[in-house]
Chains A and B, each alone.
Chain A
Amino acid sequence: MENILEVNDLKVSFNTFAGEVQAVRGVNFHVKKGETLAIVGESGSGKSVTTQSIMRLIPMPPGEIKGGEILFEGTDLAQKSDKQMEKVRGKDIAMIFQDPMTSLNPTMKIGRQIMESMIKHRKIAKTDAKKRAIELLDLVGIPKPEQRVDQYPHEFSGGMRQRAMIAVALASDPKLLIADEPTTALDVTIQAQILELLKDIQKKTNTSIIFITHDLGVVANVADRVAVMYGGKIVETGSVDEVFYNPQHPYTWGLLASMPSLDAEEGELQAIPGSPPDLTNPPKGDAFAARNSYAMKVDFEMEPPMFKVSDTHYAATWLLHEDAPKVEPPAVVQKRIEHFKEKAGER
């Protein structure tokens, strides 16, 4: 399978009064056709900026792509003008945003919002577009779509709104769908439905999906591959199985440890102490070093490169250096891994 998207050494900064904020400091990943890549990280890790940069939605100024390439089906999107991007957005790449409440125009009918990109990119007649809009609403699981198509967003419930957003994104049959934390604002039951829906659509249309989330549970549910971001860089990437069963980066361990679990016996929740780095003045070495209980002196001096764990699994930690001490993931994490294996076995 070829890569539909390849991001090479992408660097994105914001020029603010406080100085240059290096939000994305050299990010590399790819997405294959028909697969779902999850990008995981905490707030401020650079996940949204990365994906919004792919679609060139970041206002420039104050944003700026300082370097790197964004190869979509071979062409570098970073080099395209805004006008050229208009042909890509909504047509080849579409985005689903986090808060369906604010991401839909409150004064425009849902049907029209769906039809907009259709009419713009595919130049079909209004009546046909409306028919298609109703089909889409049906596809995303909204009952009575013929009525709903003429309603306004405030007449939909939260979950339905997100479904409508998905319909908007799918309107022009995009090749790549970027879902930026689409379920964060929804409650758990709805969340599950939306995730099911996305998987379903992917099966039907073979769309590639980039799924941004901070919730590892969602990753397990939905993704084929996962990339973990921290401090504007990707620290570990691999297939879901690899990263969950064999995590290498201490940050990934921290994430896994902090997942709340109903079956866990520990009384307290595990948190990663400290806070994310100040990106106006990124640290010299490994950005995670300050919070890393396994940090070595070298972590503060030099940034670790990506070490290969397998053909598909890479992690950027000095612990993987041949000279580094052998470190096992903390007990908590190991218990989690056991837990996953059991769960997977049950299925």
Chain B
Amino acid sequence: MLKYIGKRLLYMVLTLWVIVTVTFFLMRAAPGSPFSGEKELPPAIQANLEAYYGLDKSLFMQYVDYLISVVKWDFGPSLKYKGQSVNDLISEGFPVSFALGMEAIFLALALGVLLGAVAALRHNKWQDYTAMIIAVLGISVPSFIMASGLQYVLAIKWSVLPVARWESFAHTILPALALASTPMAFIARLTRSSMLEVIGNDYIKTAKSKGLNSTEITVRHTIRNAMMPVVSYMGPLISAILTGSFVIEKIFGIPGLGMHFVTSITNRDYSVIMGVTVFFSVLLLVSILLVDIAYSLIDPRIKLADKKGE
């Protein structure tokens, strides 16, 4: 296992390097500069600014400097927000986004598996149809429409939850729901089809022949085996949550990291773009590694690496 993790870490570093390089050159290829304003800056000031942020060096030198700073985990000052460093922005915004993301993942998993299991167990009955209609809605309605809809109904019309901001637990419910809606629907469908497939398997019949009741069969035998596709979905799920959070954070006025991901590009804030990209990439790569490890924990038939080789 350790050797496996070690190998994976190596690949992760390689992947990260590719991401950093591609992002760096793509970002600099875009026209426009971080200092564009309505009024053209006097050349002296423009030159000064560029020197200050190291933008006057050759592109390659800047790239090398940047790689070094990534290794040191110091992403430099924001070009747009004076006095704030990228590390500050990340350390302020990330916990918020993380909490939102975790809540959304939890909702998506819990509700999704529940919905899918109910649908599978009551196959072709009204519970199945209802659950699948909910699932279709969740998948086809974009998260921002879901967000606005939830906001309108729950926060404005019925006033049970706050409209926006991130102040208390009640504030987290609507954004987490909106963010979780599409993944939840996916998970529901995956769970349902996977469970239907598992239910048809012989070992479920064996379980029944042992005299277990349906709850015991479902919980101990069906669900565990049906979870593999759901676990496979965790990777894309995490990235969906990450990217979906941008829109949700904007609509609900949540001071997370997602907003920076988008606005830094409009601002041409190079250091923030790179910092946030690196950060999110690391997050994603680590998540994928964790998912792969989770795989092997759930299904003993999956070997991560060649053991002794039977």
> Is the CB–CB distance between B205 and A97 below 8 Å?
yes
Interface bits A91-130 vs B (CB < 8 Å: 1, else 0): 1001101010011111110000000110011000000000
> Is the CB–CB distance between A105 and B207 below 8 Å?
yes
Indicate if B201 sits at the interface (CB-CB under 8 A): yes
* Residues in B neighbouring A108, C-beta threshold 8 A: 220-221, 224
* Residues in A neighbouring B7, C-beta threshold 8 A: none
Interface bits B291-309 vs A (CB < 8 Å: 1, else 0): 0000000111100000000
Complex Cα distance, B300 from A154, in Å, reads: 9
Indicate if A152 sits at the interface (CB-CB under 8 A): yes
Known: A83-B213, A120-B210. A57 touches B301 (CB 8 A): no
Indicate if A86 sits at the interface (CB-CB under 8 A): yes
> Is the CB–CB distance between A104 and B203 below 8 Å?
yes
Indicate if A139 sits at the interface (CB-CB under 8 A): no
> Is the CB–CB distance between B202 and A94 below 8 Å?
no
* Residues in A neighbouring B225, C-beta threshold 8 A: 105-107
> Is the CB–CB distance between B211 and A117 below 8 Å?
yes
Chain B: residues with Cβ within 8 Å of the partner, total of: 22
Closest chain B CB from A247 CB (angstroms):
33
* Residues in A neighbouring B13, C-beta threshold 8 A: none
Indicate if B212 sits at the interface (CB-CB under 8 A): yes
Indicate if A90 sits at the interface (CB-CB under 8 A): yes
Complex Cα distance, B205 from A90, in Å, reads: 12
Closest chain A CB from B100 CB (angstroms):
33
> Is the CB–CB distance between A168 and B300 below 8 Å?
no
Indicate if A89 sits at the interface (CB-CB under 8 A): yes
Nearest opposing residue in chain A for B221, CB measure:
A105
* Residues in A neighbouring B203, C-beta threshold 8 A: 102-106
Complex Cα distance, B224 from A95, in Å, reads: 23
Indicate if A228 sits at the interface (CB-CB under 8 A): no
Closest chain A CB from B208 CB (angstroms):
6
Scan residues 28-71 of chain B and give those whose CB is less than 8 A from a CB of chain A.
none
Closest chain B CB from A150 CB (angstroms):
11
> Is the CB–CB distance between B206 and A168 below 8 Å?
yes
Known: A102-B203, A105-B203, A105-B225. A152 touches B209 (CB 8 A): no
Complex Cα distance, B206 from A102, in Å, reads: 10
* Residues in B neighbouring A95, C-beta threshold 8 A: 206, 209
> Is the CB–CB distance between A90 and B210 below 8 Å?
yes
* Residues in B neighbouring A94, C-beta threshold 8 A: 209-210
> Is the CB–CB distance between A120 and B212 below 8 Å?
yes
Nearest opposing residue in chain A for B299, CB measure:
A107
Q: Choose among A90, A99, A104, A105 the residue that contacts B209 (Cβ–Cβ < 8 A).
A: A90
Interface bits A144-161 vs B (CB < 8 Å: 1, else 0): 000000001011000000
Nearest opposing residue in chain B for A106, CB measure:
B301
Closest chain B CB from A234 CB (angstroms):
23
Complex Cα distance, B202 from A99, in Å, reads: 8
> Is the CB–CB distance between B208 and A102 below 8 Å?
no
Q: Choose among B210, B221, B300 the residue that contacts A152 (Cβ–Cβ < 8 A).
A: B300
Complex Cα distance, B210 from A91, in Å, reads: 7
Known: A107-B298, A107-B299. A121 touches B205 (CB 8 A): no
> Is the CB–CB distance between B212 and A116 below 8 Å?
yes
Indicate if A88 sits at the interface (CB-CB under 8 A): yes
Indicate if A87 sits at the interface (CB-CB under 8 A): yes
> Is the CB–CB distance between B211 and A107 below 8 Å?
no
Known: A105-B203, A106-B301. A89 touches B209 (CB 8 A): yes
> Is the CB–CB distance between B206 and A104 below 8 Å?
yes
For the complex of A and B, 3 pairs with smallest distance between CB atoms: A90-B211, A90-B210, A89-B211
24 contacts between A and B (CB under 8 A): A55-B209, A57-B208, A57-B209, A85-B211, A86-B212, A87-B211, A94-B210, A95-B206, A97-B202, A97-B209, A102-B202, A103-B202, A103-B205, A105-B206, A105-B221, A106-B301, A107-B299, A108-B221, A117-B210, A120-B211, A120-B212, A120-B216, A154-B300, A171-B210
